[in-house]
Amino acid sequence: MTLVTAGVVVLDCAEPEKLAAFYKELLVAEETDTNANRVEIRGTDGIRMAFRRDVSATPPSWPRPENSFQVHLDFHVEDLDEAERRIIGLGGRALETKDPSGPFEERGYSDPAGHSFTLRYAAATAPKQD
């Protein structure tokens, strides 16, 4: 029997309804639970996220060192440019979009409440041909 199972990623923010709307659109998700202080969503791929009201929440300041990374999310995409346009259109902000050296192409963004996340290029894998 498993002692601990994966739960849900929870982001604190001043306006959970607005932040949930951003991630619902980005992840093509549906709302699964809502109360006065928390909104939870589930993406089509099964990812679960919740947004908890904290009126004194302070967004991370990454890439500046003060109040830097508290947590960040990685999302895999097949088209970085298309995903970037969608993020900006939904109210997100580019933080670091230069191509880094190394084997992975990735770009940094923040959601409308200031939480940072990374888009990582993930090439589509073709199904096996028999």
One digit per residue, the tens of pLDDT, for the chain of length 130 reads 555 566 788 898 999 999 999 999 999 999 998 998 999 999 998 989 999 898 888 777 666 666 555 666 888 888 888 999 999 999 999 987 665 555 568 888 999 998 888 888 877 666 555 5
Asked if the 9-121 domain carries CATH number 3.40.50.1970, the reply is: no
What are the C-alpha distances in Å from 54 to residues 12, 14, 89, 110, 111? 6, 5, 25, 18, 16
Return the domain boundaries, the chain: 9-121
- Measured CA to CA, the distance from residue 17 to residue 47 in angstroms comes to 18
Is-above-0.75 flag for pTM? no
